[in-house]
Amino acid sequence: MLPIAVAAAMTVASLGLAGSAMAANPRAVLAVPAAVPTAVPGAPAGFTTTWSDDFSGGSNAGLNTGTWKYDTGPGSSFGTGEIETMTSSTSNVFTDGNGHLVLKALHSGSDPNSGWTSGRVETQAATFGAPAGGVVMMQASIQQPNLNTSNGAGYWPAFWMLGSTLRTGTVWPGSGEVDILEDVNSRSSVFGTLHCGVNPGGPCNESTGIGSGERGCGGCQTGYHTYAVQIDRSVSPEQIRWYLDGANYFTVNATQVDATTWANAVDHPFFIIFDLAMGGGFPAAFGGGPNSATASGGQMNIDYVAVYNKAPGGSGGAGQVASGMAGKCLDDLAGATANGTKADLWDCNGTPAQHWQFVGSTLQTSGKCLDVTGFGTANGTLAELWDCNGGANQVWQQGANNSLVNPASGKCLDDPGFATTNGTQLDIWDCNGGVNQKWTMS
């Protein structure tokens, strides 16, 4: 959550905005059918699941206070200029009985700048981080409030983390803050930000922080999308990477600040926060709100939240990727580095062409990423090597039976026709559990 001073520092980016679907009644909230909850995804390739919550509580039930802590009181106490009062009431914070956590903002009275209540919760645990040499990934599936720029002014949904050292006395922002999702004024956007150093100014330009700027997030009000961040301490320099629906859209490198600032802000565990604020400095930087047209009852719906870890030097980090076809490995044909080089099948031989490393959710060798040609989604689309570019066609997750799944296509990396011939180019195909879709880091 960006502090109030951001209003003086930020500029409004050009973004195509949704037209008003409710011009006749701008204070109405669109009714949305209850979404079918999705299971918490299995760990991405090379990771293990550390913790998750799928919000399977009953209808209009409160949260498990052994897992979650309610942050209550006036929003003004958070230092961001918010005007709501955060409560633990099931009017504002509840599970819906359909596998979702709901944070709901309600308004009473005629003054748009008072009378708001909403919800903010954080994990009791402050243990989610990456050890030296490891990687941690935090991900949630979220539907932003189903409003638009006509009736959503002032809404400020957020999914973010604060450094555990904040709970033991370290002053913000030195303890670190990683904002995974923020949107303001129902602009159908996403912002990713790192806060660190000192306030004001300092190496992280506080209170603005080091941020992605405004990125379009089409359909994020009307459907669920995944928002994630990875803190990667296995690479040099260390990195924080932000993802929307599996695509890396923003990266911060440790070398962008001094080593002490980075270590104090990043190299420790975090706790996770969800909140739905109203008003404050960030909305003010984008036109202000709430106003007389702002709808009461907008809600932020969370389907699941999960934390995944990759251990330092653990299996699945780097090495040969052995096929279920005995004696064969995933191979970079002839060790070539040109874009479009075949990702093929070859006798396992331990050469550099078969040394693969998981970097975030990408699988890399020879400085290239394993890539689905042309963002294809059809059975038989070929796999190749290409410059790493953050595209969804370069994201791979561990699936059932040691499969490698490309979430964007919903397909598995496949040895076509159960071939055993060296040089066979791999493709993607419907996941079927076959040995030709089994891939194991060795």
Picking from 346, 356, 359, the residue whose alpha carbon sits closest to that of residue 441 is 356
Q: Is the pLDDT of residue 12 over 60?
A: no
Residue, of 265 and 336, whose pLDDT is higher? 265
Helix (H) and strand (E) counts for the chain? 3, 35
Count CB neighbours of 17 within 10 A. 15
For 173-192, what is each residue's pLDDT tens digit? 999 999 999 999 999 999 99
For 77-112, what is each residue's pLDDT tens digit? 999 999 999 999 999 999 999 999 999 999 999 999
The domains found in the chain, sorted by start residue, are: 37-310 (2.60.120.200), 318-441 (2.80.10.50)
Give the pLDDT of residue 316. 43
Q: Is the peptide bond before 203 cis (omega within 30 degrees of 0)?
A: no
Residues 293/239, Cβ–Cβ less than 8 Å: no
* Distances 188 to 17, 18, 59, 224 between C-alpha atoms, Å: 7, 8, 28, 12
Q: How confident is the model over 418-436, as a mean pLDDT?
A: 93
Residue, of 319 and 2, whose pLDDT is higher? 319
**Cα dihedral across residues 44, 50, 54, 60: positive or negative:** negative
Q: Three-class SS of residue 126?
A: coil
Bridge partners for 306 per DSSP: 52, 139
Give the separation between CA 324 and CA 58, rounded to whole angstroms.
Answer: 43
Give the pLDDT of residue 254. 97
Give the pLDDT of residue 357. 79
Give the pLDDT of residue 16. 28
> The tokens of 245 are what?
């629906």
Give the pLDDT of residue 226. 97
For 371, the enclosing helix (H) or strand (E) is strand 368-372
Give the pLDDT of residue 112. 97
DSSP 295: P
The lowest-confidence range among 42-51, 53-62, 157-166, 255-264 is: 42-51
Pairing state of beta strands 328-332 and 368-372? unpaired
For 16-30, what is each residue's pLDDT tens digit? 222 222 333 334 444
For 117-169, what is each residue's pLDDT tens digit? 999 999 999 999 999 989 999 999 999 999 999 999 999 999 999 999 999 99
Q: Is the pLDDT of residue 7 over 70?
A: no
Give the pLDDT of residue 355. 86
Residue 442 pLDDT level (bands cut at 50, 70, 90): low
Give the pLDDT of residue 360. 66
Give the pLDDT of residue 100. 97
Pairing state of beta strands 120-123 and 439-441? unpaired
Average pLDDT score over the chain: 88
Q: Is the pLDDT of residue 65 over 70?
A: yes
Q: Is the pLDDT of residue 425 over 90?
A: yes
For 336-357, what is each residue's pLDDT tens digit? 889 999 999 999 998 888 888 7
Q: How confident is the model over 44-55, as a mean pLDDT?
A: 92
- Phi, psi (deg, nearest 5) at residue 78: -85, -5
Give the pLDDT of residue 319. 76
Picking from 203, 195, 166, the residue whose alpha carbon sits closest to that of residue 179 is 195
Residue 359 pLDDT level (bands cut at 50, 70, 90): confident
Q: Is the peptide bond before 37 cis (omega within 30 degrees of 0)?
A: no
Q: How confident is the model over 398-415, as a mean pLDDT?
A: 86
Give the pLDDT of residue 35. 61
Give the pLDDT of residue 407. 85
* One-letter identity of residue 364: Q
Terminal alpha carbon distance of the chain? 42
Give the pLDDT of residue 8. 29
The secondary structure of 133-152 as a DSSP string is T-EEEEEEEEE--S--TTT-
Q: Is the pLDDT of residue 15 over 50?
A: no
- Whose tokens are 């990771």? That residue is 47
Ramachandran quadrant class, 36 (left: phi over 0; alpha: psi -120 to 50; beta: rest): beta
